Amino acid sequence: MLLVQDKLVHLDVLKEEFACNLKACRGACCWEGDFGAPIRETEKIQIENTLPKLIPKLSEESRSCIEEYGPWRPYPTLKEEGTPLLKNGACAYLMWDDNQIARCGFEVLFHEGVTSFKKPISCHLYPIRIDQDESINFEAINYDRWSICTAACAKGKDLKVPVYQFCKEALIRKYGISFFKELDEIAIALKKMES
Side chain identity, residue 160: K
Q: What is the pLDDT of residue 7?
A: 92
CB neighbours of 109 closer than 8 A, spacing ≥ 6?
50, 53, 54, 57, 115, 117
Q: What is the pTM of this model?
A: 0.90
Residue-wise pLDDT for 21-53, tens only, equals 999 999 999 988 788 899 999 999 999 999 999
59 phi, psi to nearest 5 deg: -70, 160
User: Rounded distance, CA 181 to CA 4, Å?
Assistant: 10
Q: What is the pLDDT of residue 9?
A: 95
Side chain identity, residue 166: F
Listing from the earlier edge strand, what are the strands of the sheet with 128-133?
2-4, 7-9, 138-143, 128-133
User: Rounded distance, CA 45 to CA 29, Å?
Assistant: 24
User: Rounded distance, CA 119 to CA 121, Å?
Assistant: 6
CB neighbours of 52 closer than 8 A, spacing ≥ 6?
none
Q: What is the CA radius of gyration of the chain?
A: 17
Q: Is the predicted pLDDT of residue 3 greater than 90, yes or no?
A: no
Residue-wise pLDDT for 141-182, tens only, equals 999 998 989 999 999 999 999 999 999 999 999 999 999 999
